[in-house]
Amino acid sequence: MVAILLALAIGFPILTGVICLGIKNHKARAGVVSLTTLVLIVTSILFLRQGSFPYSPPPTWDWVILVLDYVILAYFLFVAIRDFIQRGMSRHNVLAIILTLASGIPLAVFEFSKAGYLPLEAEPTLYIDHLSIVMCLIISIIGSLICVYAIRYMKDHEEHLHVEKTNQPRFFFFMLIFLGAMNGLVFSNNLLWLAFFWEMTTLCCYALIRHDETPIAITNAFRALWMCLIGGVGFTLAIIFAWNSPLHTLSLMTIIESGAVACPVLLLPLALLCLAGFTKSAQVPIQGWLLGAMVAPTPVSALLHSSTMVNAGVYLLLRIAPGFQGTNLSTFVAVYGGTVFLVTSILAISQSEGKRVLAYSTIGNLGLIILCAGINTPLAIACGIMLIIFHAISKGLLFLCAGAIESHIWSRNIEDMEGLAARLPILAGITIAGMLSMLVAPFGVLITKWGAMEAASGIGVWSTLVVILLMAGSGATTVFWTKWAGRLLCHSPLPGPRKPEPIIPLYHGVLILLIACAVVFSILITPIYNGVVAPALAEAGYGVAFTTGHWFLKSPIGIFAAWPIFVVVALALIIPSLRIRTKPEESQAAYMCGENVEMGADEFVAVADERTPLKTGGFYVETALGEKNLNRFVIPIGIVFLIVLFAISVFPLP
């Protein structure tokens, strides 16, 4: 039974992905993709019912993984060299070549000469616990919804770009095997398996970013490739150091259970795994690849940001957090996560391109999860896990909203979205609700932020710093979300009836499902905590984070009852916005010092009675907070952090 479940979660999407590669017919492909998503969703729910279990497939599979790992690395080398020949030398392809070799050669030397025998096994090969089940649910449900949405989006996308020969078979091939690889990643216990699935997600990410094959897409794909390969190098070194440690193991569980306090030699492999996590989660100073990934079709961004890729990094950090509990590395991780959260939240203020705002917000929230892993108390870890869930829902939703908006206005600029609430009320309403779900109480993201703030309020200089970073960053998030929502709402009173919004079932259906998830899951936060988060904490050896009763969360130091706020929001915001109709005689034009032309004309009478159009715009504070200005500090700060990471793991202070 469990073997079948694993085959369905990992193998099935890879199989159907390969099938997609051969299907030319749009309808048939849509059917295959829909079937896969259905199977994945059902499988993930069966995993939840099954609970945790170990599983070791026959040793043949170890050989398969071993070979495929080198196949992927060889492919990276091949594409980088091909790019070198075709487009000439660039920083990106040279670094990709160097880093592929740097992760492949040491691994080969280690496996084929130093280790002594092959294949290297770890008992168990796969281990399924509640943390991996949470991840599997996110990957399978949200990732699947994104794939369903992509069926329609890619059709619109190719029509808009006037693509002669469709590239969709390849696109869905990579989308589906991405989901399979992510499921494999979260279930792996053998570091070699983990490293293989890790490289496989890098491969999918690279292929999907360069999907449109424009020069900028290819450049950004190579940037993503070499930046993620830094993590690959980290993984290779972590494997070698873990094997050479007194534990002599490749089992992640054994390493974590031993911990760096009992066995200080483990600090270095753990730090290297942290580095791998940081690169995958696009943390400063390597945030560039995720921003560059925006050139890809929007479902790719949605997939990368919510349910796959970047989640692998924070998953790994939460997974290994018990291993570095009580060390300086833990403090470092907390301060680093907090710093990333603050700087990216501030950088997001100056962005006028919607998807870049979303990207910075993603990096910031991942920083927040990393901060939780660093604080390393039951409360913090619980909030980190819940933040992955709620962030995945809301961010997946927002990217899909951005994609749907794009298919109407063919722009990603926030200024072009002015007044969308009047033209596309349903879409704009869902988008604004999605933004609020990232920003305000009582939604899940804020409940976890509350928990993180309270968990961070410990004793000591470092926790003071962490809590300041957290609060300041939190203030900055208010600015960019509210500003964007305000641009969507900004319009003049409309004279006469408006055109009804065109309903696209695959877009609106998926969006409504996701926003419903964001609301329902926030209300159901106590059952979610008790059902999946509390068992995950217990399995990782943490104590209890919350006691729950009457639908509130109570920690030793705080209490949050979210449902009364939901009642108020329903009464004060939702019912009026759905029920109230403003009468025409009650609406008035905006105040323009009495020089309005007429109702709804968006014009005023200027000098010499000339009709002048009214223009409004958002504040982006670009001179003070723009990327150009801030990146001068942000990148060096990030580099200093990485140097400190190695300093504290090579020379651990007591």
Partner 1 sequence: MSTGWLVGSVVIAVIVAPLIGGLLRGIDRKLTAHMQGRIGPPIIQNFYDLIKLFGKKPMVAGKPQLVFAWGYLFLIITAVVFFALRQDLLVVLFILGFAGVCLVLGALSVKSPYSQLGGHRELLQMLAYEPILLLAVIPIALKTGGFPITNIFEYGQPLLPNLWLTFIALVIVLDIVMKKSPFDISSSEHAHQEIVRGVLTEYSGPYLAIIELAHWYELVLLLAILGLFWIVGSLWWLSILTPLAIWFILLITDNICTRLTWSWMVKFAWGVGISLIALNILVVNLGWM
Residues at the site binding partner 1, with contacts judged by CB under 8 A: 419, 421, 436, 439-441, 446, 450, 453-454, 457, 459-461, 464, 467-468, 471-472, 474-476, 478-479, 482-483, 485-487, 489-493, 556-561, 564-565, 568-569, 571-573, 576-577, 580-582, 586-592, 602, 614, 616-619, 624
CB of 432 to partner 1, least distance (A): 8
How many residues comprise the chain?
654
Give the three-class secondary structure for 583: coil
CA atoms within 13 A on the CB side of 72: 23
Q: Tell me whether residue 131 or residue 436 sits nearer to partner 1 (CB atom).
A: 436
CB of 302 to partner 1, least distance (A): 25
CA atoms within 13 A on the CB side of 456: 32
Q: Tell me whether residue 267 or residue 470 sits nearer to partner 1 (CB atom).
A: 470
Q: Tell me whether residue 309 or residue 476 sits nearer to partner 1 (CB atom).
A: 476
Q: Tell me whether residue 87 or residue 554 sits nearer to partner 1 (CB atom).
A: 554
CB of 495 to partner 1, least distance (A): 13
Q: Is the peptide bond before 425 cis (omega within 30 degrees of 0)?
A: no
Are residues 273 and 318 in contact, defined by beta-carbon separation less than 8 angstroms?
A: no
Query: Which phi-psi region, left, alpha or beta, contains residue 594 (left: φ > 0; alpha: ψ -120 to 50)?
Result: left
CB of 560 to partner 1, least distance (A): 6
CB of 426 to partner 1, least distance (A): 14
Give the three-class secondary structure for 562: coil
CB of 305 to partner 1, least distance (A): 23
Tokens standing for residue 376: 């390393």
Q: Tell me whether residue 109 or residue 557 sits nearer to partner 1 (CB atom).
A: 557
CB of 391 to partner 1, least distance (A): 17
Please state the φ and ψ torsions of residue 59, each to the nearest 5 degrees.
-60, -20
Q: Which of 406, 390, 394 minimizes the C-alpha distance to 432? A: 394
CB of 168 to partner 1, least distance (A): 39
Neighbours of 16 (CB within 10 A): 25
Sign, CA torsion 578/580/581/585: negative
CB of 345 to partner 1, least distance (A): 10
CB of 96 to partner 1, least distance (A): 40
Q: Tell me whether residue 231 or residue 338 sits nearer to partner 1 (CB atom).
A: 338
Q: Pinpoint the alpha helices (H) of 308-457.
A: 310-320, 328-349, 354-375, 378-409, 420-423, 425-439, 444-456
Residue carrying structure tokens 């009478």: 605
Q: Which of 337, 383, 61, 23 minimizes the C-alpha distance to 169? A: 23
Q: Tell me whether residue 419 or residue 531 sits nearer to partner 1 (CB atom).
A: 419
Q: Tell me whether residue 261 or residue 479 sits nearer to partner 1 (CB atom).
A: 479
Strands 603-605 and 558-560, by their bridges, are: unpaired
Q: Which of 125, 308, 274, 121 minimizes the C-alpha distance to 203? A: 308
Q: Tell me whether residue 535 or residue 626 sits nearer to partner 1 (CB atom).
A: 626
Q: Which of 562, 566, 559, 563 minimizes the C-alpha distance to 433? A: 566
Q: Tell me whether residue 57 or residue 493 sits nearer to partner 1 (CB atom).
A: 493
Tokens standing for residue 459: 């004793």
Side chain identity, residue 557: I
